[in-house]
Amino acid sequence: MRSKKDMPFASALEALFGGEEPPIHLLYRLTDMKDEDFAYFKRVWPTVHEERRRVLARHMADIVEEDFLVDFTPVFDYLFTDESAEVRQSALDGVWDSDDPRLIPLILAMLQNDASTSVRAAAARALAHFVLLSEWGQFDPAQAKPIVAALLAEYENPSTALEVRRATLEAMSSAAHPRIAELIDAAYEDGTEELQLSAIFAMGNSADERWLPILLEELSSPSPDFRAEAARACGMISHADAVDDLETLVDDVEKEVGLAAIIALGQIGGDRALELLTRLSEDPDYDEFYDVIDDALEELEWGDSEFEMLSLAEDDDEFDLLDDDDLLLN
């Protein structure tokens, strides 16, 4: 039997683009394409029915979210100009973790000019990763600066749709820009309910502990959406003061809230969270949460081990600073 790699590229595209159901496994043929194969793909793609293009683009976006070893970036780059807004949105969703600076001008243009509100919001979400990488020191701040400026301009434009305003606020919330905290506060105090939810997300994404009192209060909000979003934000800030309140939310009447609380506990870590999650993992009353609890325990253990490694590295640095006389005296 032939493997999918043995099938001629043209035959693989024919199978993907025609028939009742697309063979999703053949989408992997669209990674690491030879130049001639990619050229052929670009000639054929515009002839494919729009519904099939939408289905394939969404499947590719879903694949890269689950499999970090798969890279459809050249394809997504090409799909940025597809006639279908849904295809363009899927392409943007597919580059959510890209660090390729060549994509930035294209995504900025989509944020500012695309006719579709959903595409413009997706462009803002795609730019968020570049902003975050810059704050982590993993991306050139000079290249991130115009991104933040563009997001800020869109957010403050009175004609910007609410969906785009929400996405831009969330996207720029991790930036060390002097106006970010002011914008988050104004959105939370005076915005619509939807914008307030984005403000709560932004509080967490900023990793700024100044927002912790608000988030702890929102954990008891009458709205399950607000409780869940506040729980997620507490997880992103990762402060131990939230553990007791999050423990209460594990038994929330809304399953989404309980799941958010469990995930947040894994992100916060520490002995108290470990004890709680371990107990939950052994309690049959929480069997429907077992997979999420296991994931939270893995993240907690990974986070604690990383902290220990950093502590050891700091101790090594201090040891290196000792001169020979200090070592002889000890």
| Percent of the chain residues topping a pLDDT of 90 | 83
Residue 305 in this model has a pLDDT that exceeds 80: no
Residue after which a domain boundary falls, among 168, 184, 203: 203
Shared-domain flag, residues 265 and 320: yes
Per residue in 144-197, pLDDT (tens digit) is 999 999 999 999 999 999 999 999 999 999 999 999 999 999 999 999 999 999
Residue 80 in this model has a pLDDT that exceeds 60: yes
Name the pLDDT band for 314 (thresholds 50, 70, 90): low
Shared-domain flag, residues 148 and 242: no
CATH of the domain at 157: 1.25.10.10
Closest CA to 54 of 9, 6, 22: 22
Q: Mind giving me the DSSP string for 121-182? A: HHHHHHHHHHHHHHHTTSS-HHHHHHHHHHHHHHHH-TTS-HHHHHHHHHHHTTS--TTHHH
Q: Is there a contact between 123 and 90 (Cβ–Cβ < 8 Å)?
A: no
Residue after which a domain boundary falls, among 39, 60, 94: 94
Per residue in 212-229, pLDDT (tens digit) is 999 999 999 999 999 999
Residue after which a domain boundary falls, among 184, 203, 222: 203
Shared-domain flag, residues 58 and 120: no
Shared-domain flag, residues 71 and 119: no
Shared-domain flag, residues 50 and 104: no
Name the pLDDT band for 1 (thresholds 50, 70, 90): very low
Amino acid found at 320: D
Q: Domain of residue 57: give its range.
A: 1-94
Shared-domain flag, residues 223 and 276: yes
Tell me the average pLDDT across 105-132: 97
Amino acid found at 319: F
Q: Count CB neighbours of 328 within 10 A.
A: 7
Cα separation, 247 vs 228, in Å, equals: 13
Give the residue carrying structure tokens 């108290």: 272
Shared-domain flag, residues 107 and 1: no
| Percent of the chain residues topping a pLDDT of 70 | 90
Is 107 exposed, middle or buried (CB count within 10 Å of its CB: 0-12, 13-18, 19+)?
A: buried
Shared-domain flag, residues 215 and 327: yes
Cα separation, 57 vs 75, in Å, equals: 9
Cα separation, 204 vs 249, in Å, equals: 17
Shared-domain flag, residues 221 and 321: yes
Give the residue carrying structure tokens 């371990």: 278
Shared-domain flag, residues 37 and 114: no
Amino acid found at 49: H
- Angle between the N-to-C axes of helices 193-206 and 224-237, in degrees from 0 to 180, rounded to the nearest 10: 20
The alpha-carbon radius of gyration of the chain (Å, integer) is 23
Shared-domain flag, residues 215 and 330: yes
Shared-domain flag, residues 80 and 106: no
pTM equals 0.87
pLDDT at 328: 41
Count up the domains in the chain and report the number: 3
**Mean of pLDDT over the chain:** 91
Cα separation, 126 vs 117, in Å, equals: 14
